[in-house]
Chain A
């Protein structure tokens, strides 16, 4: 059996590498004057979540700048050595602007960028830049503050269920933002958190939703990518929030709203800049006011709740409200943000603690 297993491992590694190269090779070779723009995705474009929305952004670029650009994408590329090969392949194939759309592509992007100084790179959700590497991200936590308020107003049991993926700062700041929003409406609100340790595993996400509902949660929020939790909530007759895409179709009676990723404005702007020759390495962290974080229509809730959500949304857009505005206390009661101050961006991007009121512990701490 050991022999078979080692064979399996070596063969799968070889085949996986071959698959990636074959995938990259499908990128088209076209007219010379067009700007070639490459995209590398962590998941399949059919995930209806993270990668799906990045691909919608790519399509928006094609729609907006049709005859001036030619786009290529490579999907389902694991983070690690394969990513570097694929990014390099995209650069060698003549792509002048390359979007690398997952956190773990950070080092591979920088390595390839060094070897191709004339190619422009855009890395999503990272924090390391270079002369030809920009970074960009969205403030999804702004939307989660609104979810928290809606949940606290709507919940009858006083318990919000939260399906989380991995304990990284982005997910933890999302949980905190939701909790702060909820506490602004009901100081006694509870949140139950279940980690599924996956971004995308529909059956497991559905199981997590059912477990939370069985334990008394009547509002389900998620930081995973599939609509499975929404569907489970619909089947059990509770309410839920969608993620990445508008999931109303999966929960016609369950969906309160969804936080929709909208990369199109940024992608179109950056490709235009590359066409004009005005592209520069930048660090962009946009949010609701830039239209990158979009709330799906507020549904299945009373008018007063809807009004509150719309008001909060307007305040966040105008800058009058920041979810991480003090006073904010950690679980042990220490004051992290004083009254009248806001938590600096860099502290949000490295957040590894829960706010007061969450009874669970951050995994691994």
Chain B
């Protein structure tokens, strides 16, 4: 029985580790499918973490905190959208500026909360189901963010491939000229996609500061926004591969810690690099198998409507 308990604990840790990556990457995937490359993910995530923590700490409500994080991420994404979409500025520079702005803002918002803590967002407990061995804690014993990430994933996967709105969004990302000629409001659609990205990044930040490690510290996202960006590219902009990529990354990150704990003598530096190596290798193989699934054709190209 103890082996099952350990296995359940390890699997539960993997799911938790993958969740912030999945959330942030999912939002970025939508933005990129609409043709905008937003490198501000790290900034939107950290702002979500800071504002979410500050709100939850002040109000005592995790729900309000989460909402505030989502709104904060969205607001910051509007800064990016204003620059990159409406002023047609360079998307790479605008995105990086968004990240730097976000890191600074978050430090400012969080300054008074250094050294404080919150009680973690509770794991949901479903009587009966959560008590099942192995499946219980892994599938039915996670916090609400985990379920939100999976529901959002299903929503995005279905929305992009099965709905008219998804088709239009993809058309804007593939050829903004053609979409514009057909009468679609390219910039408005892109703005909405970027806002969705901001909301998801804010939610990912809230997961970190409200559930995963429920306190505030500057730079606590520690580069997860950049990993999320890389996951989008390596998943070839496919939601389901993104799920696989995020969980693989989470799995290897957790398992390498366990391998170290067992003292097998494998160099720790190599093990730390393993999540990156494994994820790149797996996703490169996947995209090699399915040719012709490149980046959205208009990705990163500013759109200026001609009259």
Contact = CB atoms under 8 A, between A and B. Distances in A.
A194 B261 contact: yes
Given A196-B272, A207-B254, A202 B217 contact: yes
B97 A15 contact: yes
A1 B295 contact: yes
Nearest to B233: A1
A194 B114 contact: no
Main secondary structure of the interface of B (DSSP, over half): helix
A352 to B, nearest CB: 14
Contacts, number: 149
Interface string B187-203: 00000000000000000
A189 to B, nearest CB: 15
Given A11-B96, A245-B115, A202 B222 contact: yes
Contacts of B299: 4
Contacts of A192: 261, 263
Interface in A312-365: 359-361, 363-364
B222 A207 contact: no
A245 to B, nearest CB: 7
A361 B265 CA distance: 6
- Residue of B114, B120, B261 ringed by the most chain A CB atoms within 10 A: B261
- Residue of A45, A202, A206 ringed by the most chain B CB atoms within 10 A: A202
A112 to B, nearest CB: 25
Contact of A211 (B215, B257, B267): B257
Contacts of B97: 15
Contacts of B125: none
Given A1-B295, A11-B93, A226-B220, A211 B13 contact: yes
B87 to A, nearest CB: 17
- What are the 7 tightest A-B residue pairs by CB atom distance, in nearest-first order? A44-B218, A195-B268, A46-B218, A211-B257, A201-B222, A363-B268, A197-B272
Interface of A: 1, 4, 7-8, 11-12, 15, 19, 43-48, 52, 76, 161, 167, 192-198, 200-208, 210-212, 214-215, 217, 226-228, 231-232, 235, 245, 249-250, 359-361, 363-364
8 contacts: A46-B114, A200-B222, A202-B220, A211-B10, A214-B9, A231-B215, A235-B120, A363-B269
Interface of B: 6, 9-10, 13, 17, 20, 37, 39, 90, 92-93, 96-97, 100, 107, 110-111, 114-117, 120, 208, 212-220, 222-224, 233, 253-254, 257-258, 260-263, 265, 267-269, 271-272, 295, 299-300
